[in-house]
Amino acid sequence: MDPPPRFLCGLRQRECLDVRGGSVLSHWRRRTPPPESTRTADDLRSFVTDAHAEMASKLPPLWVNKTMEIRGLGTREPRRGDDMEKLARALQGMIGFGASRVRLQYMVDQVAALLGAALVGIWLEDKTDLVPVAVGGRAADYGRELVFSTRDDVPHGQGPSGRAYRERRPVLFDPRRVSSRLWRPGRERYVLGPSLAVPLVFEHQVFGVIGLYVTRGKSISPRMRIMMEILAPIVSMMIKDQRDRTLLEERSKGLSTLISAIQVLGRVQSEDELMTEFGDIAIQVLGANGGYILLHDEENWTSLKMFGLLTGYETELGPILMRLIRLNPPRGDLVSDPFDFRRRTGRYRDILEQLQFRSGISGQLEVEGRLAGVFTLWSYEPDFFNNKQYVLRALAEEVSTALELLRVRNRLIAGARTDPLTGLANRTGLQEKLDELAAEGRRYSWPFLFVLLDLDHFKHFNDTQGHPEGDRLLREVAAHLRRATRPFDLASRLGGDEFALLLARCGPETPGIQQRLGALLGELSQTFEGLGVSAGVSAFPEDGEEFRELYRAADQRLYEVKRRGRGQIGWPGEVFQPL
């Protein structure tokens, strides 16, 4: 009994095969295909067994029992139903292989022998190309050389596999009807004839194609086509399952490593240390090859830290980056290829190309809903950060939280060390600075001076002008002292109208120090009419090495100055300098 011309074993040629819960659901052309649903691939053996049973149930009894000879590689296939049994055994044997590519290679080898094909291969997407991952048959060497393009502007480079990928349908290619110079040399060398490419589609996502080539003079039989259409969803499930497992493993590994690294962020003591730890995490955990982080305070971009291959370019790239960020600050979430550097010219692009960076990603840090910093990471590999955005997003949130806690802590510490009215250091801040200078003095034999000064007649001014005017006067005095001191000196307000100065690396015998201090306080007395200034000075280490000892010595000399009539500076050795 010969089979009908457009039917294969009682099945329509365009039968719809779907996977749901590990079984095959066949629907006739007149029926509506089932809706898309979640599909699983936990048990390939069950899948193939169900497929075999359903296929056998649809075959006419006489056709199932009839022996049919199919010539291929000199073998004889006794029954059509045996194809599914051999395919089931081949797929069951795949379970013993761990690596996904090894399983696929075993499968294509078995299918090539089962169908008598000269070449059976699987090509998967890789950017804009389909590259071979498993090729079997006597023409396997030719298959490993084939790379198909999926781009619209490369029609001749697509081949049947490229067309099947783009159009999502099986494509039959007959070289006798369609001539292609691109594929002719290889086909003639291996004596290849027609080929069939079936797309690998799962849940509306195309992964690649599975292709079959026969020897010249043969044709793609309906048997081959139905077997390829059965194999396509199985391979699609395998690839989807493997990719999901790989992605889950990468995410689990990345997040576990990231959690361990993030614990370090909670122990940082400064913004510079925070930026250093961020760079270490980006290089060691995420695998970036270089990058930078730039922090912003309430007014300006302040701190820049480069790491990886960009280390050492702070001076050269700092002004360029700050200008680019001011003109085009990052908005929203992560941005790939920040600043679109490939379209730019100048030193920034030259350095990136010199370091051979091919992909980058940028993000922002927020503190209390405001922009607090930006970061950019670079890599040698194209599209390196596509699968790492979830880790980067988590890292950015943790760094933002650590930065916020750090700034809140610094404000609290600064508030505990700062006088709220004038902004100068208070008694606590003065004592900490004095202890620091004392430690340096003992280590390097550096002297310093402790100056205690008091505003004369301030109580009368406060009573006559009012407390608001008195507060304004104190702020102006503080601003005057702040401008007059050097960066390594310290001006502080101890309370009321009492101020103090720490003058580092100088002593009573330092040339010109008495004249400079006298000019400073004299200018202060002349600036605020009706007020005067009196001061007492103590020296480290002659008058003591601790805050209490130096304060007592300076206070005694200030008391003596006021007893003598104010408007003077009391120096060690009973020297009184009028202002």
Return the SS3 of 370: strand
> And the tokens for 339?
């600043």
496: left (phi over 0), alpha (psi -120 to 50) or beta: left
Residue 196 has a pLDDT of 93
Q: What is the pTM of this model?
A: 0.50
- The neighbour count for residue 361, using CB atoms within 10 Å, is 23
- Distance, in Å, from the CA atom of 54 to the CA atom of 51, rounded to the nearest integer, reads 5
Query: pLDDT tens for residues 53-103?
Result: 554 454 433 333 332 333 333 334 444 456 677 777 777 666 655 557 788
- Distance, in Å, from the CA atom of 53 to the CA atom of 260, rounded to the nearest integer, reads 52
Amino acid identity for residue 9 in this structure: C
**Of the candidates 534, 392, 373, the residue with the CA atom closest to the CA atom of residue 453:** 534
Q: Rounded to 5 degrees, what angle do the CA atoms 216, 222, 226 make? A: 115
Residue 31 has a pLDDT of 35
- The neighbour count for residue 196, using CB atoms within 10 Å, is 25
User: Residue 481, Cα to own-chain centre: how many angstroms?
Assistant: 47
- The neighbour count for residue 218, using CB atoms within 10 Å, is 17
CB burial readout 374-398, b (16+ within 10 A) else e: bbbbbbeeeebbeebeebbeebbeb
Q: Could you tell me the end-to-end alpha-carbon distance of the chain, in angstroms, rounded to an integer?
A: 128
Residue 330 has a pLDDT of 63
Query: pLDDT tens for residues 229-263?
Result: 888 888 888 888 777 777 676 666 666 666 666 67
Q: Which residues contact 495 (CB under 8 A, 6 or more apart)?
A: 427
CA distance readout (Å), 446 to 82, 164, 436: 97, 82, 12
3-state percent helix, strand, coil for the chain, nearest multiple of 5: 45, 25, 30
- Distance, in Å, from the CA atom of 62 to the CA atom of 71, rounded to the nearest integer, reads 21
Residue 345 has a pLDDT of 57
Residue 306 has a pLDDT of 92
Residue 285 has a pLDDT of 78
| Most distant CA pair in the chain, distance | 135
pLDDT < 70 regions, the chain:
1-83, 92-99, 154-158, 177-184, 186, 247, 249-262, 329-333, 337-345
- Distance, in Å, from the CA atom of 212 to the CA atom of 234, rounded to the nearest integer, reads 16
Instruction: Count the alpha carbons within 13 Å of 342 in the hemisphere toward its beta carbon.
Output: 7
> And the tokens for 207?
């992964």
- Distance, in Å, from the CA atom of 41 to the CA atom of 234, rounded to the nearest integer, reads 8
**Of the candidates 237, 232, 229, 163, the residue with the CA atom closest to the CA atom of residue 203:** 237
